[in-house]
Amino acid sequence: MTETTSEMRTATRTCPLCEAGCGLEITIARDEDGFERVQRIRGDMDDVFSHGFICPKGSTLKQLHDDPDRLRTPMIKRDGVHVAVTWVEAWEEIAARLPDVIDGHGRESIGVFIGNPGAHSLSAMTFSRALLTGLGTRARFSASTVDQMPRHVAAGHVFGSAVAVPVPDLDRTDHLVILGANPYASNGSLCTAPDFPGRLEAIQGRGGKVVVVDPRRSRTADHADEWISIRPGTDALLLAAIAQVLIGDGLADVGDHVRAYVGGLERLGSAFAPFTPEAVASPTGVAAATIRKMAQDLAAAPTAAVYGRIGTTTTEFGSTTSWLVDVVNTLSGNLDRPGGSMFATPVAGGATTRGRPGSGKGFQVGRGHSRVSGHPEVMGEYPVGSLAEEITTPGAGRLRALVTLAGNPVLSTPNSNQLASALDELEFMVSIDLYLNETTRHADVILPVPSQLERSHYDLLLLQFAIRNVANYSEPVLPLADGQPDEWEVISKLSLIAQGLGPDADPAIIDDMVIDGMIENAVKDEFSNVFGREPYELRGELDAMGRRGPERMIDFMLRTGPFGDGFGANLDGTSMDDLLDYPHGRDFGALVPRIPAILRTPTGRIELAPDVFVDDLGRLAAAVPALTERDFVLVGRRHLRSNNSWMHNIDVLVKGRQRCTLQVHPDDAHALGLNDGGVVRVTSRVGELVAPIEVTDAIRPGVVSLPHGWGHDLPGTQMRVAAEHAGVNANVLTDDQALDPLSGTSVLNGIPVSLEPA
């Protein structure tokens, strides 16, 4: 939405860099040559969700747009060197080579990796399915298996839908327990809440309490009322013991509001019986009395919520830990009530607002198995930790081509040296990306996408995990550069070429197919507000608005969503036209209880004790010796001025003190003869590196921490600023074989390592 004066205008836009989705106010000036340039970016004070909050990254959308290293033309690798080419040449190259791989080795020989910004790009969210369909392969990988997949697996088994993910009701809770998250740095994840820190301080301001469980005294822990230092990888034990106390001491009460829907309660008493606070105190490193107190506080607080994030999911017991978070929230009476752990009602595109409410097909995994290690399929994908072996292991179905979309797996996935050399064995690789970086340097063709300011935005995915029901659509701030297709057009064209339609195929074909498919499904859904309508009529009404691509889809999703106008069925309902009247977003209110309607389990119940997790408690108990006998374990961390692997080419963010350091406790440093500012050799089962040492008492003895996303000193890249602040790649140390078997998610926190002075 734009307001224009003579030579300056102001636009508002949602920041797409992280899950907080802050509203930005962007001032644009026209220079003498008629070019529009961004002058200033600041927080949008009128944004209905972020109220002016912004972090140091938000304003750097300008620097990102202006970055001379950001790719403006496609690149083709010729004789080992990337050269700029025209779009026509790029499409012809792909049309000449991709079909050869398909003809020679079949569609299963093409792998796909979709990275994190794919969840922040409206084009990728609305068109990546079409890419997967067009490629016709089941060899699908994504950042989910280095991130939140365990959370989906728990939601799937317990509530019947992988996206029925409860979030802590931050604005109304009296007591919040945070495990393995540092929202002061990350601004929150799987809990969309701009100004997460401010909301935590507000809990304290109204007399509530914030408890942080983390092996590091993070900034969040520092601000909390209590920091509980835990041994990495043992949160499942801690939560099981809390559940044991709640049940054993008669404190458990799920509450009348959900009682009729909770199934499996009777199994939990015996399942948790072995996990007493006394039994888990030594392995977790948390005193039994502290654990009892945690349980008592959760039971006694008027409202309470437990929230677990990356430090709990990227562990050997990630899925079971996520389940235990739900178990404790339920047993303490806090599931689905204000101030507790609640579900969003997404305004657009929510899977839990479609179809029959209250029951469904439920959640399934293992509808296929990976070729080499036999990992079960989860949500249509395989563990990214197994990507390298799928490329290097000979035999039928071996991956011979790879498409990456918005991902940098060479820095972000485990045993990355192994993956980097595997990529060189591919016959063909295409990357859709903004940069020539550690991953895309392996690509035969790189297809650039518009800058973040040149495209529209709607947080289709992340608003499904928001702490308020909000809708916010942003128009592009700047027009597309000459000749640059929108990201959805790039994705669609690649899909069409993979289907054999050649380099001139029109992306509009996919666009029309996708919208027609959406309409078709909606009119057949007896619970939809357009049930029984004529598809061509709806299509006609949509097209009359003159929108295409993601805009037309969002319009449809808004109109058929829970607050939608239903194409006339609900005159007050929302639509794209309606949202355009709300440049600062439209607030649909605080979260409301959604049980039973949100449930999609076959029984129509909350499956609080599914076999998968109850059985996994046996594996957990058996792992205790291995979890405790380690010398040193490596965990990660994030910094406010960094964003995974790809914002390191922005000078204002990386300048100053080196942030890629190995944090070591003073006692450990002393014992090993390590000095602050020196360097240390870190070795794991799969690799080694030399990192700068930061001695700090903000970390638990026996634990060391290195952030991920660094290591920008590889040849063949084009990120000049990042190369000057290269840092080291933590994922040289993480182990591709170490994963949570229930979700295929890699262990990135709690990797056994040894240290020696270097």
Ligand X SMILES: Nc1nc2c(c(=O)[nH]1)N[C@H]1C(S)=C(S)[C@@H](COP(=O)(O)OP(=O)(O)OC[C@H]3O[C@@H](n4cnc5c(=O)[nH]c(N)nc54)[C@H](O)[C@@H]3O)O[C@H]1N2
b/e string for 263-276 if b means 16 or more Cβ within 10 A?
A: bbbeebeebbeebb
Picked from Mo ion, ligand X, ligand SF4, none, the partner binding residue 689 (CB below 5 to 8 A depending on kind) is none
* Max CA pair span of the chain: 76
Does residue 20 touch ligand SF4 according to CB under 6 A? Answer: yes
Question: How far is it, in rounded angstroms, from Cα 304 to Cα 333?
Answer: 9
| Shortest reach from residue 21's CB to ligand SF4, in Å | 5
Count of beta carbons in the 10 Å neighbourhood of residue 452 = 23
- Residues engaged in binding ligand X (CB under 6 A): 18-19, 115-117, 121, 143, 146-147, 179-183, 185-187, 189, 213-216, 218, 230, 232-233, 235, 309-312, 315, 405-409, 411-412, 432-435, 437, 449, 487, 635-640, 642-646, 705, 708-709, 730-731, 734, 748-750
Question: How far is it, in rounded angstroms, from Cα 204 to Cα 199?
Answer: 9
If the CB atoms of residues 24 and 203 are measured against ligand SF4, the closer one turns out to be: 24
Question: How far is it, in rounded angstroms, from Cα 448 to Cα 130?
Answer: 19
Q: Which of 26, 38, 54, 419 binds ligand SF4 (CB under 6 A)?
A: 54
Question: How far is it, in rounded angstroms, from Cα 724 to Cα 716?
Answer: 14
If the CB atoms of residues 147 and 381 are measured against Mo ion, the closer one turns out to be: 147
If the CB atoms of residues 122 and 294 are measured against ligand SF4, the closer one turns out to be: 122
| Shortest reach from residue 200's CB to ligand SF4, in Å | 14
- Sole window of 18-26, 81-89, 149-157, 516-524 interacting with ligand SF4 (rule: CB under 6 A): 18-26
Does residue 58 touch ligand SF4 according to CB under 6 A? Answer: yes
Picked from ligand X, ligand SF4, Mo ion, none, the partner binding residue 58 (CB below 5 to 8 A depending on kind) is ligand SF4
CB 9 within 8 A of CB 39: no
Question: How far is it, in rounded angstroms, from Cα 461 to Cα 22?
Answer: 15
If the CB atoms of residues 341 and 574 are measured against ligand X, the closer one turns out to be: 341
| Shortest reach from residue 586's CB to ligand X, in Å | 24
Backbone angles phi, psi at 560, to 5 degrees: -100, 5
Question: How far is it, in rounded angstroms, from Cα 680 to Cα 632?
Answer: 13
CB 172 within 8 A of CB 338: yes
Does residue 15 touch ligand SF4 according to CB under 6 A? Answer: yes
Q: Mask: binding to ligand SF4, 134-173, rule CB under 6 A, as x and -?
A: ----------------------------------------
- Sole window of 12-20, 177-185, 537-545, 650-658 interacting with ligand SF4 (rule: CB under 6 A): 12-20
Question: How far is it, in rounded angstroms, from Cα 222 to Cα 210?
Answer: 11
Does residue 147 touch Mo ion according to CB under 5 A? Answer: yes
Task: Specify the amino acid at residue 445.
Answer: V
Picked from Mo ion, ligand X, ligand SF4, none, the partner binding residue 166 (CB below 5 to 8 A depending on kind) is none
| Shortest reach from residue 712's CB to ligand SF4, in Å | 20
Picked from ligand X, ligand SF4, Mo ion, none, the partner binding residue 17 (CB below 5 to 8 A depending on kind) is ligand SF4
- Sole window of 51-59, 167-175, 374-382, 563-571 interacting with ligand SF4 (rule: CB under 6 A): 51-59
Picked from ligand SF4, ligand X, Mo ion, none, the partner binding residue 21 (CB below 5 to 8 A depending on kind) is ligand SF4
Comparing CA positions, the residue from 463, 455, 457 lying closest to residue 434 is 455
If the CB atoms of residues 15 and 221 are measured against ligand SF4, the closer one turns out to be: 15
Report DSSP state, residue 375: P
Question: How far is it, in rounded angstroms, from Cα 114 to Cα 546?
Answer: 30
What the block records as the tokens of 433 is: 């990306």
Beta bridge partners of 401: 110, 428
Comparing CA positions, the residue from 730, 758, 756, 754 lying closest to residue 631 is 754
| Shortest reach from residue 177's CB to ligand X, in Å | 10
- Which residue, chain included where needed, has tokens 């609080």? 608
Which single residue brings its beta carbon nearest to ligand X? 311
Question: How far is it, in rounded angstroms, from Cα 665 to Cα 705?
Answer: 10
Q: Mask: binding to ligand SF4, 183-202, rule CB under 6 A, as x and -?
A: ----x------x--------
CB 441 within 8 A of CB 419: no
Which single residue brings its beta carbon nearest to ligand SF4? 58
Comparing CA positions, the residue from 639, 645, 629 lying closest to residue 705 is 639
Does residue 22 touch ligand SF4 according to CB under 6 A? Answer: yes
| Shortest reach from residue 20's CB to ligand SF4, in Å | 4
Beta-carbon contacts of residue 139 (< 8 Å; ≥ 6 apart): 108, 109, 110, 111, 112, 382, 390, 399
Count of beta carbons in the 10 Å neighbourhood of residue 687 = 19
| Shortest reach from residue 425's CB to ligand X, in Å | 20
If the CB atoms of residues 522 and 732 are measured against ligand X, the closer one turns out to be: 732
Does residue 55 touch ligand SF4 according to CB under 6 A? Answer: yes
How many binding residues for ligand SF4 (CB under 6 A)?
Answer: 12
| Shortest reach from residue 590's CB to ligand X, in Å | 23
CB 462 within 8 A of CB 192: yes
Question: How far is it, in rounded angstroms, from Cα 664 to Cα 661?
Answer: 9
Contacting positions for ligand SF4 (CB under 6 A): 15, 17-18, 20-22, 54-55, 57-58, 187, 194
Interface residues with Mo ion (CB under 5 A)?
147
